[in-house]
Structure formats: C-alpha cells, structure tokens
Structure 1
C-alpha cells in the first residue's frame, strides 16, 4: 500500500506549533521555539529516526529531497546516518561530492547537460577549492575564489556560487557541522554589484519582412524561418521532433519549456508551408543537421550567426522583442502577447486565475504576424529594402520582386554570397 506524501504546505510549516507529518515518515518536529525535520523509519525490525536539518534553513522542498535520498538508502538496507558519517570520514573532496550531488538530480532544467551545469565550478571554484573537503570550505576561501570575477563577470560568479550552495546544502544534510547558509554569507561578504542591464539587439518590426525574405532554403534557414513565424524560444525549434506536430498545432513538451509546463503553438499556413519544405522524412528531428556539433542538432547559435553574417542588427532572442513591439503597434492585448512568447505571469494571484494557454485567441495573432512577414507587395519592397544598409545596388525586376515577396532566396548584393 502506497503511503500518502506531501501533506504539508509552506504556510502550515511556518505556522506549526506542534509536530506535523508530511507523510512516508517525514516529520516536522516542533520543540519550543525551534523546528527541525526528522525521518522516522524501520530497518531490520528496529524503529529509528534520522535528522534532516533545521527549519526554515532547510525548506519543505529541500526536506522532501533529503527524505527521498534517505528513503532510498533504507530501501537498500542502509541506515542513512551510517552512510553519511562514512562519507564524512572519508573526507571526500568538493569535486567528488559535486559529482555525487549531480547524480541525484533527476534531470537538469530545460534538458541542460551535466557538463554545462558544472562548467562555472570547473572554471572558477575547483582550481582553488576542488581538493578540499566540504567541511573545510569557509566564507573566506570561497570569497577568495570568486572575488576576481564577482564584479567583471557577475552572472557567471552567481551561477558558480548558487551551484556551490546547492552542493553545500545537500552535504549539510549528512553532516550537521556544515553551515548550510555558507553561500549566502559569501554573497554578503563579496557585496552588492551595480547591474547594468543590456538588452538583446532587436530589429525594428517594420524591417522584419525584409529580413524574413532574405532567407534561403537550407536546413538552418528553414528552421530560422519557422522560428521567425512562431516566435518561440530557440531551443524549442532546434530540438523539435515530428511527433510533436499534429495538424495545425505544435505541442512542446514540458521538459523543453522554461516554465516547466507544456505549451501549444498554433501553426499558421506559412509555418506549415515551411514544415512541408523541410522534406519527407517524418522521423526524429524536424530540422536535423548532418554537420551537427552534437547529437544531430543544429547549433542554438546558428540563428544569431546568420543575422550577424548577413548584417541584420538583431540576435535570435532579439527577434522575440521585434514581435513584441509589433504586438504593441497593432494593439494586441498585452497578456495575449506575453502568452504568445511563452512568458509566465510573475504575479501568483494573476497566474492562478489565468491558467489557460489561450490557444484559439493566439491563433489569429500569429496568423496576422505570419501574413505581415510574408505578404509583401512588390511596390513595398524597395521602401523596405532601403531600411537595410547593404541593400541591392541595382533596380529589382518584376520577376525578382515577385520571387522576393514569396519568401524565396534572393541575393541582396551585386556579388552573390555563399548561402549559409
């Protein structure tokens, strides 16, 4: 019989004045003014308990994670306390502990890879601290390791410290001598950093049709066409598979979404036409690459590279801003425009009442955007091209104008360029 789990809420934990159970042997023990997490279990016909750390330093979510790990050991016939004390006695170095911690993560956010997750630590933490046991980490030695990049490469430093903090808290569940708030104290010690917000370069929405029409029909450029028409995130397109497409809707699974929830994308006739041009092979990735840097996927940097190589002042992510500004200019409802871009509502109260993905209301918005990108008359071509500095140097013929308006490839200079 499966035991009930996850009975508590954060609010109940904060308000608790007596012992509370979360299920499956996990308890919040209240002793006067202090609270702590305890896992009660039976092994070899003997009932025992194991402390998982103090509350609120160890949150409800963290306690459940530690409970899951301890429960797994019990199922293997191992007492958690004995297991973790043995680990501490070995004095495993930080680098080894980090690898063990990474193995416990069921999956990384948005399909991330272990190498990328460890990269900030490998580069900025392990050279100085990798051979030290976690028990020997201090505010001073961590600060010394991160101080050289704390101001100049602050986002990278924050990533390194955040991931180091996760490892420290995970290890702290096994050794009560470890300060689970060490990373927070390091951040306070290094001080605040004045942030300079730098936005992604973005093309003015009036120039968008000219940019779209300059694309050719290589796999990368067909993928970029599809990205321009749908305005989703880049990795949604590069990792897109044929089984996600059903009629005129594209179903993006939760594991590829930044929000962690599945998302439906209405496909305009122009977007479906791009899919039809990809080829007849309907297995695997929609936009595969035979020269992929990994796993048969086109690089997530390929779109920005095309913009740069062809002198368009935007990045791939900046294109989403182009679409958003078009929405403003055309009077599209703000909330609807944000949903089109897969942005989740940050206000929890609002999000609770606006859970629907508004598929049918988004459909005409994306159809109008696709029409705007592709339905350009010959008379408008010259005016649009003048917005781009490296415009064609000779007069466009009527045949060329019609070809351009259909979205087929045209060289925009007198000297042909190699298709990228």
Structure 2
C-alpha cells in the first residue's frame, strides 16, 4: 500500500522529462515543456472530481507535496471540498492584515485626493483615531457587527453628537471600502448600529455671535496693530473663516482681490474675496509681520492659532467667538441691506442652489460683492456708534 502511494523517487522527480507523473493517491507532478514543474492533487468529493495545485517544484519538494496531499485527502474522505477549505484557511490567516485599523488606513489613503490638503489636518481620520480604533481597531473587520459599533460609540452618542456622527460616517465608508476589497463585511452594520443607539438627545448649539449692531464698537477696540488685532479685523471685514484668515499668504492677494485656493476652502473650490479699502489697509499694516509668506505668523513658528483670537474675546468676558462674525455679517445683510440672497451666501462661500442651477449660473457675483463688502466696511468702521458694550473697552483686556 505504501508503495502504491509513493511511486516516485527524488531522482525521478529531478530528472523528469516533460509530461505527467503519478505518485499515487491522486498526487501528480506535471513537468512542462519550458522546464517548469507543478504539483497537483486529484480527489473526488461528493462524486465530483476536484483538482487543486500544490505549488511549484521549485518551492515544494516531493516530501512536502506528499504531506500536503495526505492532509487534503483526509478532508476529502470526510466529505469536505479541499479547495474551499484551503480558501477558508487563507482568509483566516489573512485576517490579521484585515483589522479595522489597517482597512481604515487604506480607506483614508484612497480618499486623500478628495480631502482638503490631502487630509493632512487630520480632521477626516481623527474621529476614528480618537473614538473607534482604540477600542476595536485590532478586531478583524469581517467580524465587526452593529453591536460592536454601538458599544464603541455609545459613550459619546448623546454627549458629543457631531463627533459621533462623523465617526459613524467614516466607519460606513471604511466598511464599504472593505466590501470593495472582496472582504465579507456587513455594509449595513452602521445603519443597524444607529437603530440600536437611537436618536441623539444632544441639541446642537450655534457658535455665539456678536449682534451686527455691536460689531463697530468691538472693531474700534482692536487698535493695537498687533498680529491678533489685525487678524481679527481682517476676519470681520471679509466674513471669512478663521482658518482662511490664519493661513492667508501675501501671494494670494491680487490687487483688490484675495484669491483663496481650493485646497484651503471647505467646499474645495477656489474663492475670490473682494477687499474693501479698509481690508486693504489692514493687509498693508500686517505686511511687516509677514514670515515665510504668511501674513499672520505665530510668535514661534507657523501661523497664529484659532485659540489666539478666541481667547482675546474670552478674556474680555464675551460669549461671542471669531467664527460668529460670519453670522453677524449674514444677519446684517438680511436686516440692513437689500442684497439678494445669492450674493450674501456667495460672500460666505456657501453653495447656492442645486447642481443644475449652478451649472447654468456661472458667476460668483464679484462686482456685487465688492460693493457689499465696502458697505459692510463702512458699517464696521463707524466711529459714531453709541451702543456701549460691557467689557469691550481697551482696558478690559
């Protein structure tokens, strides 16, 4: 019986000419015309013949081929398909490489081109990195279900609703990425987790804003000529986001227009900001502080932080924050001007209208916005403002 199973010798295998040679029990060696050789095994499972490769002779010796053949023949006798079983074993072995953390990194890399600045700021990945991966990052993604996700996000679902929503959104993207890779994942797991978590009890709060009537009095106190004061003045005059102001470069100023590149915009689209006479004066006054092309550098390196401007207002006992001046401007547009909605929204770099409407409306209303920003500057710089705001005097800082 042993001889029937082990027909070949090492010498015969080494010196075999092109053709097929049986070692017995379904194990064959196929020597090709090009000199290469391959082991394969033939077994019968449920009346159906199956043929599976066992590897190249270059890497698999006669002894190793017989050991593999014994293993797969035993499975075939037990009624199991050796080819399917091998695939199952490979998937199990590969699971260590298919953890949630590794697939999340792959998904992030795949999406970088769609993200502002290639996602270098970390805002896309941070909800996962801070609240998900520390808990289930090492779990094979194919094993993750709605209960895992629910238990992971439950602690922040009602207290940090926006962060939890972003983390859930990113998880959904990662699960779909894994499915595209051919992994056996439940792409509905995040939706099921939402059902288990229920509606968030968290009530969103708007960023506190200074009433537009009170902006001139605050603006007048920013008269020290420091980087922080000048940055806040330009932020108010342009109704821009704080990140757009903080990272402004002199190279982006083209005469009386500030052109913000797409990679620095929230909507990932270039935005032109008309500069009023007052805004241009602020830029001239800030030029002596310029470093590495940045108009508002920090004391040490890089640019001033968002906290720098916020803390100035906080020290003065104000609830309002820098981002709130965008709301101040928009409310002023609605209550004190007759500017069309589309012009006001474009001034804030908001997307206006549906995709079809935008396809036909190919204007950014630059001329109309230029007049609007001059009007806003006139309001902001009024010196005859009579409203007295507690805590807004220069001595309050």
Q: Within 5 A, what are the aligned runs for 1:90-109?
A: 90-107=96-113, 109=115
Residues 260 and 270 of structure 2 are in contact (CA less than 8 Å); yes or no, is this contact kept in structure 1? yes
Q: Does 1:198 align with 2:205?
A: yes
Name 2:48's counterpart in structure 1.
none
TM-score (normalised: structure 2): 0.71
1:119 Cα deviation from its structure 2 partner: 2.6
Name 2:9's counterpart in structure 1.
none
Pairing partner for 2:255 from 247, 262, 265:
247
Secondary structure at the aligned position of 1:284 is classed as coil
Q: Does 1:117 align with 2:124?
A: yes
Q: Does 1:151 align with 2:151?
A: no
Name 1:339's counterpart in structure 2.
346
1:194 Cα deviation from its structure 2 partner: 4.5
1:224 Cα deviation from its structure 2 partner: 1.0
1:140 Cα deviation from its structure 2 partner: 1.2
Tell me, in whole angstroms, the C-alpha distance in 2 between the residues paired with 1:312 and 1:89: 53
Q: Does 1:354 align with 2:361?
A: yes
Residues 212 and 225 of structure 1 are in contact (CA less than 8 Å); yes or no, is this contact kept in structure 2? yes
Tell me, in whole angstroms, the C-alpha distance in 2 between the residues paired with 1:114 and 1:317: 19
Deviations 1:303-331 (A, max 9, x none): 22222112333111111111111112222
Tell me, in whole angstroms, the C-alpha distance in 1 between the residues paired with 2:186 and 2:208: 42
**Greater CA drift, 87-96 or 271-280:** 87-96
Residues 85 and 175 of structure 1 are in contact (CA less than 8 Å); yes or no, is this contact kept in structure 2? no
Say which one has the larger Rg. Answer: 2
Counterparts in 2 of 1:100 and 1:347: CA distance versus 1, 3 Å? closer
Runs of 4+ aligned structure 1 residues displaced above 6 Å come to: 84-87
Aligned residues: 305
Name 2:74's counterpart in structure 1.
none
Residues 202 and 315 of structure 1 are in contact (CA less than 8 Å); yes or no, is this contact kept in structure 2? yes
Counterparts in 2 of 1:85 and 1:244: CA distance versus 1, 3 Å? farther
1:184 Cα deviation from its structure 2 partner: 2.0
Residues 244 and 252 of structure 1 are in contact (CA less than 8 Å); yes or no, is this contact kept in structure 2? yes
Q: Does 1:308 align with 2:314?
A: yes
Pairing partner for 2:324 from 310, 314, 318:
318
Q: Within 5 A, what are the aligned runs for 1:196-345?
A: 196-215=203-222, 216-280=224-288, 281=290, 284-292=293-301, 296-328=302-334, 329-345=336-352
What are structure 1's unaligned runs of at least 5 residues? 1-80, 393-410
Residues 291 and 297 of structure 2 are in contact (CA less than 8 Å); yes or no, is this contact kept in structure 1? no
Tell me, in whole angstroms, the C-alpha distance in 2 between the residues paired with 1:276 and 1:391: 26
**Greater CA drift, 178-187 or 361-370:** 178-187
Deviations 1:142-198 (A, max 9, x none): 111112221222211111111122111111112242122322222223222245242
What are structure 2's unaligned runs of at least 5 residues? 1-86
Secondary structure at the aligned position of 2:306 is classed as coil
Tell me, in whole angstroms, the C-alpha distance in 1 between the residues paired with 2:287 and 2:299: 14
1:108 Cα deviation from its structure 2 partner: 6.2
Secondary structure at the aligned position of 1:288 is classed as coil
Residues 339 and 357 of structure 1 are in contact (CA less than 8 Å); yes or no, is this contact kept in structure 2? yes
Deviations 1:362-394 (A, max 9, x none): 101000111111142xxx25x23x2x11366xx
Tell me, in whole angstroms, the C-alpha distance in 2 between the residues paired with 1:331 and 1:248: 24
Deviations 1:287-314 (A, max 9, x none): 111335xxx0111232222221123331
1:283 Cα deviation from its structure 2 partner: 5.1
Counterparts in 2 of 1:264 and 1:218: CA distance versus 1, 3 Å? same
Q: Does 1:368 align with 2:375?
A: yes
Counterparts in 2 of 1:355 and 1:210: CA distance versus 1, 3 Å? same
